[in-house]
């Protein structure tokens, strides 16, 4: 019976952490539909936060690759005075990147709803 309480307590902590993370990310970044994303990304910095292999397999035309794994070392390559449009494969990593950038003082942060896998606009691929 004690084991069940431990499992329930751990599960509750995980759920609380997930809810808090969700609201922190929601506050840090504006999620845009593909149409809204297309309207603004040409006037912004378009950043693909996926890993280089994913980026090489296909990316939104005009995007720059800045993988989440390299973000702490390279975030200063992103201008803080211009809007930043982020995307990844499905929307999870770009939210975490936005949270990090917000802590660094970036304020105009946007992410693509559903990520690259939902994208139907122009893409560039090396193959």
Can you tell me which residue has the tokens 């995307």?
Answer: 87
10 Å CB burial of residue 36 (0-12, 13-18, 19+) is middle
Average pLDDT, the chain: 92
Contact 87, 31 (CB under 8 A): no
pLDDT the model gives residue 9 = 93
Ordered strands of the 109-112 beta sheet: 30-32, 109-112, 84-87, 45-48, 64-65
DSSP structural state of residue 75: G
Note the pTM of the prediction, 2 decimals: 0.82
Across the range 116-121, mean pLDDT stands at 91
pLDDT the model gives residue 36 = 95
pLDDT band at 67 (very low <50, low <70, confident <90, very high): very high
Q: How far is it, in rounded angstroms, from Cα 9 to Cα 12?
A: 5
pLDDT the model gives residue 121 = 86
What domains does the chain contain, in order, with CATH numbers? 2-119 (3.40.250.10)
Neighbour-count burial for 55-90, b at 16+ CB within 10 Å, e otherwise: beeebbeebeebbbeebeeebeebeeeebbbbbbbe
pLDDT the model gives residue 76 = 96
């Amino acid at each position: 019976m004690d084991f069940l309480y431990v499992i329930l307590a751990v599960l509750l902590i995980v759920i609380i952490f997930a809810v808090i993370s969700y609201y922190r990310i929601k506050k840090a970044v504006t999620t845009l539909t593909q149409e809204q994303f297309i309207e603004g990304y040409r006037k912004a910095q378009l950043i693909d936060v996926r890993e280089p292999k994913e980026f090489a397999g296909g990316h939104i035309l005009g995007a720059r690759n800045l993988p989440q794994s390299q973000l702490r070392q390279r975030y200063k390559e992103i201008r803080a005075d211009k809007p930043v449009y982020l995307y990844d494969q499905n929307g999870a990593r770009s939210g975490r990147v936005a949270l990090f950038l917000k802590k660094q003082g970036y304020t105009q942060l946007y992410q693509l709803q559903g990520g690259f896998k939902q994208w139907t606009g122009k893409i560039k691929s090396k193959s």
